[in-house]
Amino acid sequence: MSRGQGRVYRPTNDRGQRSPFWSIVYSIGGKRHYESSKSKKKSVAQRLLRQRMGDRESGKIIGDPRKVTLAQLRALVERQYALDGNKSLARVKLALGHLEDYFGAKCRVAEIKPVELDSYAEQRVAAGRARSTINYELAALRRGFSLAIRKGLLSVGPSFDLPKVANARQGFFGEGEIAAVLLELPPDVRDLVQGLAALGWRRDELRLLQWANVDRDGGIIRLEEARSKSGKPRIFPFGLAPSLQDLFNRRWEQRSGLFVFHRDGQALSKDAIRAAWARATKRAGLAGMLLHDLRRSAARAFRKAGVSEGEIMQLCGWETRAMFDRYNIIDEADRAAAVAKRFSETTAKPSAPESNPHSVSPSNT
C-alpha cells in the first residue's frame, strides 16, 4: 500500500523467529497502531487493514483518540461493573487506582506503550506485589481498552502480555494437621474452619451463610447464585454427615441474628479470621499454610472416598474442569500409592526353584 495507508507484516520475536500470524500497522493522528489479525492468512490481515483505514477515513472513530485519558478508561470499567452488578467492583477500583498512581489519571492512553506496561509490572513486583495481583491490574486495564473500542472512543488498544502466573496452591492438610489447627482457634472461627474443611467451599461462601439457607430438618444447605462465585446456585446435602450435623446443631444453639457463623450477631470479619488463622497455624507448626488450602484438601478427601470428579465440582463449586484441574488435588503420596498398587498387581513374585531329583546335595559330596 502507499505511504500513510499502513502495511501488513509478520512480526519476529527476540530470537529472530517469524510469527505465523499476520499483523497490521497504520497511523492515526501521527500515532502508529499495531494490531494482530490473529490469522495465518495474509488476505485476512489485508482485509482488516482496509477496514481500519475505512474507519479512519469515514470518521467512525468518535472524538479524538489522542485525548482519551486513563481516567476515562477507569470510568468506563467501573460503570460497566456497576451496571452488571459485578461483585468485584471494589477490587477493580483498587486495581485501576494503582495504574492511575503510576501513569497519572490524565495520562493519554494512546501514549501507553507495551514496554511501559512491562515497566509498571516490574515496579509492582519490586514493591512486593504478587504476580497474580499485577495480572489482575493489567487485565482491568485491558478491559478498559476493550470498552473504549466498543464505545467508539478508540480504534484499537495496545497489544500486551499479562504476566504468567502459576498460583495454583500446593498445600494439603492431613486430618491430624487440621485437628492441630482447630485446637488453636477461638470457638467461633474454629467452627467456620471446620465447616470449610468439610465442605470445600470458599471462605466467604460459608462466612456469609445465613440460617435462611440452611434446612436443618432436611439436612441441606442452599447457596444462592448471588453469593456463589460461579454465579450458579449450589446445594450441599449434609444430612448423612454426622460431623456436619453436629456442627450446625452447635451453631443453632449459639445463634444470634441472621448468620450461621457470627461474632456478637454479625458475620465474622475477614480480619478476625485472618488474624486467628495466622496465630493458629504458627502455633500448630504449620505457618505458611493458607485457609484456601482447606478447599483443595476437601476435594482430595472426597476423591479418596470414591466421589466422582463431576460430583466434587458440583458440591464444592468449580464451574469448569479447567479450574478444577488447576487445584491439582492429587499429591505425591497419591501418586506413590498408585505406583505401588500397579506394581503389586502386575509384578509376579518369583516362584521357588523346583527340586531336581537328580541334583546332588552339597552334603552328599
User: How do the domains of the chain map onto residue ranges?
Assistant: 7-58, 65-150, 175-340
Amino acid at 218: G
> Which grid coordinates belong to 169?
496452591
> What local confidence, expressed as pLDDT, does residue 193 receive?
95
Three-state DSSP at 91 gives helix
pLDDT digits over 111-161, tens only?
Answer: 888 888 888 988 988 888 877 788 888 888 988 888 888 887 776 677 666
42-46, 66-70, 346-350 — which is least confidently predicted? 346-350
pLDDT digits over 256-283, tens only?
Answer: 999 999 999 999 999 999 999 999 998 8
pLDDT at 82 over 90: no
175-340 CATH, one of 3.40.190.80, 3.90.1150.10, 1.10.443.10, 3.30.450.20: 1.10.443.10
What whole-number distance in Å separates Cα of residue 226 and Cα of residue 347? 54
Three-state DSSP at 23 gives strand
Annotate 130-165 with b (16+ C-beta within 10 A) or e (fewer): ebebbbbbbebbbbbbbbbeeeebbbbbbebebbee
Architecture of domain 65-150 in this structure? Orthogonal Bundle (1.10)
Tally: H helices and E strands in the chain:
14, 8
What whole-number distance in Å separates Cα of residue 266 and Cα of residue 259? 7
> Which grid coordinates belong to 183?
485446637
pLDDT at 248 over 90: yes
Higher pLDDT, 282 or 225: 282
- For residue 359, what pLDDT band results from cuts at 50, 70 and 90? very low
